[in-house]
Structure 1
Amino acid sequence: MSIIRTAVPLVVLTGVLTGCAGLQKTDWPTCAAVGGVGGAALGAIKSSAWAGGGAVFGAGMAAAYCWVHGDGDADGDGVPDSRDKCPDTPQGVKVDAAGCPIVAVVVVEEVVVVKQEAIVVRDVNFEFNSARLTAADKEKLNIIAARLKKDAANAQLKVTGYTDSVGNEAYNLKLSKARAQSVVEYLIDSGVPRSQFVSVEGAGESNPVASNQTPEGRAQNRRTEILIIR
């Protein structure tokens, strides 16, 4: 029985010391506490009077062993040196399980820029059989000029005029260009730089967007389109 009584505490204390080798140096108080229990057990084998001394002896041995053989943390990042792949991490920097700084992933949202946009100008009726703008036409173009100056500064502008199918085709072609030119000149007078207008064309009655068989359809076909190229 005496052999068993001696062997069990020794096994306990040996296990404590072996376990301490895998801990950090800062864990020495825990090793000391557990070692003290093992030392007390060893001391009690001799007599109860030896239990206190054994506890002190066991605690001291366990703490010292933990300090000497324990795993350190030189950079103080919370990762033991044996597992720290970045041992010189600056203080306060968050690290991963390997002790290396956590790199923040910045997600950049792609800004979708509209490369081309068309403004379709309708209800600009001009004077009868003329390319001269009416007062009502100018009010509508004032709104378009303000938008171009705000949202399309430095963009290239292509302007194309269209008519309905009423009248001679050749005449409509000429009239559509003259009306497109009138729109451009008014926009320039309203502050849109002339250099932004890269082309002014008349397409006559081609490319209708509605039927020419009804008044409503013909009104839609009489239009000026401003293509914005950014």
Structure 2
Amino acid sequence: MSSVRRWLLSGLLVLVPLAITLFVLDWIVGVLDQTLLILPVAWHPDRLLGLHIPGFGVLLTLVIVLLMGAIASNFLGKRLVLLGNALLSRIPIVRSIYSSVKQVSDTLFSENGHAFRKALLVQWPREGVWTIGFLTGMPGGDVANHLHGDYLSVYVPTTPNPTGGYFVMLKRSECIELKMSVDQALTYVISMGVVVPSRPAAPPLNPPL
């Protein structure tokens, strides 16, 4: 019975991650395939090829993103983007949602952004309890007027879903910068500490000259 139990656990360790990965990929492809609905019915791949092949929506989405990026990168496109932003900023309910989402997306996807660039070791939710957080910037606005000292803005994710979490402002002296990439730290959080990143190599005691 011990061998059967060991084989069962070994099989689950192989199949469960594979099944979850395939499920997530299938869901993503299914969602992106909905972009095909913007095409005329006569242009749908199912109609042209006579059979359904999943994934064409991914290609269409990629083309749309690249096309929008090319348009927004030239002078006329930038003017149109500014005009669209100004228009959306005048609509009461849409304004609050759009401005918040845009600020976050500009921070995350901007080439000179500083969001989630460093993994930190912080004490949360109380002193003596340590967890992983991500540096998102420095406190600003009126908040900075009420914080005396050197503070950092830190996002503390929940596990196993890192999209939910807490935004806190901590003293720089209470944050320890980790020698691991953001991807390694996210994997560590998502796996609930099961997937441990490798330790950085320790410097030699007597480095060669």
TM range (shorter): under 0.3
- Specify the structure having the higher radius of gyration (Cα): 1
Q: Using structure 1 for the length normalisation, give the TM-score.
A: 0.18
Q: Using structure 2 for the length normalisation, give the TM-score.
A: 0.19
> In proportion to residue count, which structure has more helix?
2
